[in-house]
């Protein structure tokens, strides 16, 4: 596998771990402690998302992640994994379609 693919799948693994931590901090996993953990986890998750994905997409994803983690009952939404799918599957297809071959005659 190429170095690029390795980074891509490392980011997928990190996304799955971050989503798992989000579920662990949920009210479903730890009664009473879950709501307090959400107060701590929501800004950390939002910040982590902005660091994992750069640019405006990362900022928007960070805000969505913060809101999703802060609202009780929505911790089960895998926002990190969804962002990975958006970046590497949906956007990845668009980027490969935009490649244009140019023939330069000498």
CB atoms within 10 A of CB 51: 9
Q: pLDDT-derived band of residue 45, with 50, 70 and 90 as boundaries?
A: very high
In the chain, % of residues over pLDDT 90: 44
Q: Which range has the worst mean pLDDT, 11-15, 83-87, 94-98?
A: 94-98
Q: Is the per-residue pLDDT at 12 higher than 80?
A: yes
The band of 30, judged by pLDDT with boundaries at 50, 70 and 90, is: low
Mean pLDDT of the chain: 82
What is the mean predicted confidence (pLDDT) over 28-39? 70
């Amino acid at each position: 596998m190429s170095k690029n693919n390795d980074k891509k799948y490392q980011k997928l693994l990190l996304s799955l771990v971050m989503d798992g931590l989000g579920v662990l901090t949920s009210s479903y996993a730890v009664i009473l402690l879950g709501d307090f953990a959400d107060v701590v986890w929501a800004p950390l998750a939002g910040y982590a998302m902005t660091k994992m994905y750069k640019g405006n997409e990362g900022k928007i994803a960070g805000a969505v992640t913060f809101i999703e983690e802060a609202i009780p009952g929505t911790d089960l939404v895998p926002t990190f994994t969804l962002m990975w799918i958006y970046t590497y599957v949906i956007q990845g297809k668009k980027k490969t379609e935009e490649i244009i071959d140019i023939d330069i005659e000498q």
